Amino acid sequence: MKVRTHVVTVVGVAVLSLSTMLSAQAASAESEYTCENAYMEVAYDCGKDAVQVEKNRLNKIYMTAYRTLSPTQKQQLDKEQITWLKARSKQCDFEHDGPMNNTVVYAMINSDVCTANETQKRSKVIAKRYNIK
């Protein structure tokens, strides 16, 4: 009986921890990501997942806006997007040629978090400008 109780307790704690982590990540979808505060493996996955979520969101918003624009407006949005991508890359890109260590991994995580946060901001700008919900 003690073993069964222990297993149920361990599983319950694991489920609670997972749901808390997922809730925190879901809450981050509308605010800045803070993946750097987690353990390295979790932080790494959080950063990568955040970038993917925000890139998908931006692509959806961008394409929704794009469909409503005239050819001239499309060209202007494309130019603006290219300028924004260059600025985001300059601000957030990670480059490293040395050996891998924990410091380098956390720098990679910071780069992903920066990319996700800046992409989220860009999504909000385009959504507001073109009244996309």
Q: How many domains does the chain have?
A: 1
Instruction: For residue 15, tell me if it sits in a domain.
Output: no
Instruction: For residue 81, tell me if it sits in a domain.
Output: yes
pLDDT in tens, 66-99: 999 999 999 999 999 999 999 999 999 887 777 7
Instruction: For residue 63, tell me if it sits in a domain.
Output: yes
Burial of 15 (0-12, 13-18, 19+ CB in 10 A): exposed
Residue 37's pLDDT is what?
A: 74
Q: 44 is in which domain, residue-wise? A: 32-129
Instruction: For residue 5, tell me if it sits in a domain.
Output: no
Instruction: For residue 43, tell me if it sits in a domain.
Output: yes
Top-confidence residue, 98 or 18: 98
Mean pLDDT of all residues in the chain? Answer: 80
Instruction: Give a three-class secondary structure readout of 12-47.
Output: HHHHHHHHHHHHHHHHHCCCCCCHHHCCHHHHHHHH
pLDDT at residue 4 greater than cutoff 80: no
pTM to 2 decimal places: 0.73
CATH assignment at residue 106: 1.20.1270
Cα(90)–Cα(125) distance, integer angstroms? 19
**Residue 62 CB contacts under 8 Å (≥ 6 apart), including other chains:** 77, 81, 126
Top-confidence residue, 1 or 72: 72
Return the closest-CA partner of residue 132 out of 32, 49, 64, 35: 64
**Which tokens in the block code for residue 38?**
């987690």
Top-confidence residue, 32 or 30: 32
Nearest-Å Rg of the Cα atoms of the chain is: 19
pLDDT at residue 57 greater than cutoff 80: yes
Instruction: For residue 17, tell me if it sits in a domain.
Output: no
